[in-house]
Structure 1
Amino acid sequence: MKKQFVILLSALGLSACGSLAIMDKSEAVKAQPEMLIKTDGDLWGLGGDGEFTLGGLYEGKYSRDASSSTWFNTVSTKDGSMGAEIIRKDNGESWILSCSGGGTSVSVGMMQFGGNAPYTCDITSKGQSVGNFTIAGEEKMIDFGTAKKEKGHIVVNGKRFDVETVHTGSNLMMPLENPLGYSFKLNGKEVAAVQTNGVLTVQWLPEMTQEQRDVLAVGAIASALSWRPAE
């Protein structure tokens, strides 16, 4: 049995000019101020454990792990987990994330079967379950290794947003296999974007209520700090 522990970092996503690829966003979201997610963990500030701040509005700590195992170059098992506490700085309100994902796949020649289990986070506040974050790839029996688009949602206290990965960006001639970030939509309209390629940033529309911003902040941490094994 061959076992590897893999650090999953964002793809560099560099263009031919060597510049950083910024994920595609709607013009409305792109016009909003960028809020940095700053981390102090090891491995260039991210790593397995650390603390974070989000735009001076939220702070917290996280712990992550990812591993993959392969038997006979055929059967692969991948596991990822992440725990985080998000605290709103102005009133101390907090949310706890407990996330996991992975799956077992079987490779036959150029084809891969399975291994696309959802990445899910249980969200609690004050000891009570208040929602969840879920994202997964398309339900396909056969995976030919194309761009790994994922879709899902986040819901907290009844406030829900759809979430999907973004694989296109500035200065790119074609979509990347790994995402540049995540788009959050409400009734089909993009209302927030989380860039995860090279730098971690969050932007959301000014008309979002404080309750909606809280949900988007939790979703930003759930997506930006998710840690899953590399393929």
Structure 2
Amino acid sequence: MKKQITLLLSLLSLTACGSLAIMDKSEAIKAQPEMLIKTDGDLWGLGGDGQFTLGATYQGKYSRDASSSTWFNTISTKDGEMAAEVTNKESGKTWLLSCNGGGTSFKFNMLQIGGNAPYTCAISLEGESAGTFVLERDAKMIDFGTEDKEMGSIVMGEQRFDVETVHTGSGLMMPLEKALGYRFTLNGQEVAAVQTNGVLTVQWLPEMTPQQRDVLAVGAIASALSWRPEE
């Protein structure tokens, strides 16, 4: 039943003009210019491997893979991995990301246990640890609601932003199971948004410092290019 509801909501995300649903954002974020994340991989320009640009300042390359297996209709294993390089062309700094998520779950009658290991990225700069990016299933949403809500944070040096998936958008009657994008907040204020439904875009507030923009750019790639196995 959940799969049928998800399919219906996905179809409803298309407007009469055929445009894709855009994630909900604050008015301040919507007023900012959109920076495209352009990729040259296969599978409509994304795929498993490729290079990317983020606006005019950031570029890099990525490699990602996802797989899932089920035994005896009881034990399921899901694995997802992503590696990326994010370079600031102006400063010359390059951050390396090593990300993974998934896990093994056990199904007993209608109850499923496990399989929701956090999606984590180790971030390094010039061979030294530089920070972490973490997203994990919101425990409050596991048994209630239709969306696969995830929450977490990115920390690099003294900079930290909270991150959460966004499942609501203009014209939608209900939240979608799969995220339309990601919201980055600082002290409770939305400071950046990453749209991943149909097109990859990034918007952030103009008062963000160069250091904060670096963190948000790394976070945008860690979230937008993540590739985790389906249920």
What residue in structure 1 maps to residue 6 of structure 2? none
Q: Deviations 1:92-149 (Å, cap 9, x if unpaired)?
A: 1110000001011122333321111100000000000010000000237965783110
TM-score (norm 2): 0.91
What residue in structure 2 maps to residue 23 of structure 1? 23
What residue in structure 1 maps to residue 161 of structure 2? 161
Gaps of 5+ in 2: 1-9
What residue in structure 1 maps to residue 221 of structure 2? 221
Cα offset, 1:215, TM superposition: 0.1
What residue in structure 1 maps to residue 4 of structure 2? none
What residue in structure 1 maps to residue 172 of structure 2? 172
Pick closer, same or farther for the CA change 1:173–1:146 going to 2, 3 Å: closer
What residue in structure 1 maps to residue 83 of structure 2? 83
Aligned residue for 1:118, secondary structure, equals strand
Alpha-carbon contact 2:146-2:175 (below 8 Å) kept = no
Q: Distance in 1 between matches of 2:15 and 2:200?
A: 22
Q: Distance in 2 between matches of 1:170 and 1:84?
A: 32
Question: Which has a greater percent of helix?
Answer: 2
Q: After TM superposition, list the pairs within 5 Å mapping 1:175-190 onto structure 2.
A: 175-190=175-190
- Counterpart of 1:217, as a letter, is A
Aligned residue for 1:173, secondary structure, equals coil
Pick closer, same or farther for the CA change 1:176–1:90 going to 2, 3 Å: same
Q: Distance in 2 between matches of 1:143 and 1:72?
A: 24
Pick closer, same or farther for the CA change 1:190–1:141 going to 2, 3 Å: closer
Q: Distance in 2 between matches of 1:16 and 1:110?
A: 35
Gaps of 5+ in 1: 1-10
Structure 1: 4+ residue segments shifted above 6 A: none
- Counterpart of 2:13, as a letter, is L
Pick closer, same or farther for the CA change 1:34–1:142 going to 2, 3 Å: closer
Q: Distance in 2 between matches of 1:110 and 1:227?
A: 27
TM-score (norm 1): 0.91
Q: Distance in 2 between matches of 1:12 and 1:129?
A: 43
Q: After TM superposition, list the pairs within 5 Å mapping 1:118-133 onto structure 2.
A: 118-133=118-133
Q: After TM superposition, list the pairs within 5 Å mapping 1:195-210 onto structure 2.
A: 195-210=195-210
Alpha-carbon contact 1:39-1:52 (below 8 Å) kept = yes
Cα offset, 1:16, TM superposition: 5.1
Alignment RMSD (CA, Å): 1.7
| Mean Cα deviation higher: 117-126 or 138-147 | 138-147
Is residue 96 of structure 2 the alignment partner of residue 99 of structure 1? no
What residue in structure 2 maps to residue 14 of structure 1? 13
Q: Distance in 1 between matches of 2:69 and 2:124?
A: 31
What residue in structure 2 maps to residue 5 of structure 1? none
Q: Distance in 1 between matches of 2:126 and 2:11?
A: 38
Alpha-carbon contact 1:13-1:20 (below 8 Å) kept = no
Identity across the alignment (%):
73
- Counterpart of 1:171, as a letter, is G
The aligned length equals 221
- Counterpart of 1:15, as a letter, is L
What residue in structure 1 maps to residue 7 of structure 2? none
What residue in structure 1 maps to residue 113 of structure 2? 113
Pick closer, same or farther for the CA change 1:163–1:39 going to 2, 3 Å: same
Q: Distance in 2 between matches of 1:12 and 1:130?
A: 41
